């Protein structure tokens, strides 16, 4: 059986060796990434540091999905769809007015028919 001092020494040795190997591995990863970045940094454009809004503006300009849109074609399609919408509503309104006119004529015919029936009953 190992004494208490010997066991704690083993734990300390394991902890120190784990820390050392972790530090060596982390250093190797960082150095390899720095080497890769230093090789690729020749063609990278460096911009001046600005405030948050300037950075955001630059980022939005770079990633703008609307910059490839042909605005005249878009406007033409938009106006065409608006025109079609108004033509459809005009056609609906015309149909409603025709139905109202027909209903008024039917009511007029009914009233005229009632007129002669009332005259016959009165006489």
Residue 93's pLDDT is what? 96
pLDDT at 4 over 80: no
Cβ atoms 61, 47 nearer than 8 A: no
Q: Which two structure tokens, joined as six digits, stand for 29? A: 């990863």
Q: Which residue in the block uniquely carries the two structure tokens 């005229």?
A: 112
Q: What is the DSSP letter of 68?
A: T
Is residue 103 very low, low, confident or very high in pLDDT (cuts 50, 70, 90)? very high
> pTM (2 decimals)?
0.38
CA distances from 64 to 46, 55, 58 (A): 20, 14, 10
């Amino acid at each position: 059986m190992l004494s208490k001092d010997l066991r704690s020494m083993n734990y300390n040795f394991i902890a120190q060796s784990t820390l050392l190997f972790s530090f060596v591995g982390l250093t190797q990863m960082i150095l390899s990434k720095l080497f890769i970045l230093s090789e690729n940094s020749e063609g990278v454009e460096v911009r001046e540091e600005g405030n948050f809004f300037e950075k955001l503006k630059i980022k939005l300009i770079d990633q703008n999905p609307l910059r490839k849109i042909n605005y005249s074609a878009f406007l033409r399609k938009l106006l065409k769809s608006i025109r079609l919408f108004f033509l459809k509503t005009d056609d609906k309104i015309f149909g409603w007015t025709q139905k109202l006119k027909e209903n008024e004529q039917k009511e007029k015919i009914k009233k005229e028919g009632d007129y002669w029936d009332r005259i016959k009953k009165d006489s």
